[in-house]
Amino acid sequence: MVSNLSKHEEINLLASGADWAWPEAVRNILRPRGVNLLVASDADELIHIIGRRRIHTAIVDMDSEKSHGLATIRIIRMEHPRLPCILLTRAVGESLLGKALRLNVFSVIDKPVDMGILREQLHRLFIKKYNSYIFAK
């Protein structure tokens, strides 16, 4: 199977600023695969980075005061409607899932984040969107 990603292409995931220390755990999943994790300090920086660099997936922390959750995803959708997004939240509920679905969020993951579930969701996303098995076990 041929990948939609070039062998020489830099693969970047962008995470919103978080009020907790999960980015280091995410780096441990990404680094062995040669994937970069960029962390934006706030929603403005996240949007700025997306406009300047090729980003393959945005991970937004719904609960962080720095990222503004769904509002950030709405802004991303205005400028980059096809950018895959994963939403992290402490309060998964029917209302939030409905809003995430309307914003075409790829996945909503409950916090605290199980890194196995995150890797599995990234694997599904990269197969579907990029025809890439970079996150296979």
Check pLDDT > 90 for residue 48: yes
DSSP letters along 39-53, please? E-SSHHHHHHHHHHS
Q: State yes or no: pLDDT of 17 exceeds 80.
A: no
Give the integer Cα–Cα distance in Å for 53 and 137.
27
Average predicted confidence (pLDDT) for the chain: 87
Provide the residue ranges of all domains of the chain, joining segments of one domain with +: 11-130
Asked if 131 contacts 3 with a C-beta cutoff of 8 angstroms, the reply is yes
How many other CB atoms sit within 10 Å of the CB of residue 68?
20
Residue 86 has, within 13 A of its CA and on its CB side, a CA count of: 23
pLDDT-derived band at 13 (thresholds 50, 70, 90) equals very high
| Four-way CATH pick for 11-130: 3.40.50.2300, 3.40.50.1100, 1.10.357.10, 2.30.42.10 | 3.40.50.2300
**If pLDDT is split at 50, 70 and 90, which confidence band does 8 have?**
low
Amino acid present at 14: L
Residue 42 pLDDT class (50, 70, 90 cuts): confident
Q: How confident is the model at residue 28 (pLDDT cuts 50, 70, 90)?
A: confident
